[in-house]
Amino acid sequence: MRTISENRCFGGVQGVYAHASEATGCEMTFGLFLPEEAEDMAVPVLWYLSGLTCTHENAMTKAGAQAWAAEHGIALVFPDTSPRGADVADDEADDLGQGAGFYVDATEAPWAPHYRMWSYIADELPRIVTANFAVDEERQSITGHSMGGHGALTLAMRLPGRFRSVSAFAPIANPTQSDWGRKQLAAYLGTESEAWAAHDASLLMAAQGFEGEVLIDQGASDQFLDLLRPEALAGAMAARRQPGTFRMQPGYDHSYYFVQSFIPDHIAFHAEALWA
């Protein structure tokens, strides 16, 4: 692992690091904010998964999360959204290929050699972070925006016991029934199959739910509502009587202005679970 940068931030340190990944077969970059408390103890951690076209940098610089994480004494991890490099398959469209890994392990050509973002986020990067930094592997929560919200919800529900809480901002909630999902799942995983259902938050919510609290914020003026299909997730939560909150926020769109507006609520929500 190599250090790209480290900057003092709200009493802690915002770092950016790179490492050779076994999961993706290329170099991966991630951001990590450590609060001041990490100088003396292992702190709980909140994972933030970003959306389409993003790198590790988007949420790190646009979400305004560090101030609130510092207030609550929790670390933030900002992974990249896909493998990258000259030898990594890509596509001209901005919703497939580099920047659009969709948090799955691809099985189809030309994606399979590198597009193993599920394994990277679920297994490899947590081992690297907890081995090298003052982060408590027993106290983890997860959140994300758009494609990252999809990733956060599916990881939380499919890895029971890993995360104490999960939240999402405008998640791609029902990808098996949306053009933001069917295209990518077909490309990465092949023709429609049970493998698709394992990456659909609405189907997972209906089938098993999440063992802890859930918080979802969705902008009511989101320009991508038809692609996100929030009604499917809200319906599944209600039918299951899932503990948690689903909020439609009037006037808000899909941008980071929306994320900035509600990130304090989300970090406080996770901090309560992480410090319990």
Name the residues annotated as catalytic: 146, 222, 254
In which residue are the tokens 């499917």 written? 232
Q: Reduced to 3 states, what is the DSSP secondary structure of residue 104? A: coil
Tokens of 262: 């509600």
Q: What is the DSSP letter of 3?
A: E
Return the closest-CA partner of residue 214 out of 133, 124, 126, 153. Answer: 153
The tokens describing 140, both together, are 């983890």
Instruction: Put the strands of the sheet holding 27-34 in their side by side order.
Output: 2-9, 12-20, 27-34, 75-79, 43-49, 135-144, 165-169, 213-219, 244-249
Q: How far is CA 143 from CA 25, 186, 189, 244, in A?
A: 25, 25, 24, 14
Coil, strand or helix at 232: helix
For tokens 């940098």, what's the residue?
57
Half-sphere exposure of 247 (CA within 13 A, CB side): 17
Place of tokens 């101030």: 67
The first and second tokens of residue 174, run together, are 């029902």
Residue with tokens 């990944």: 21
The residues that bridge with 13 in the sheet, in sequence order, are 8, 34
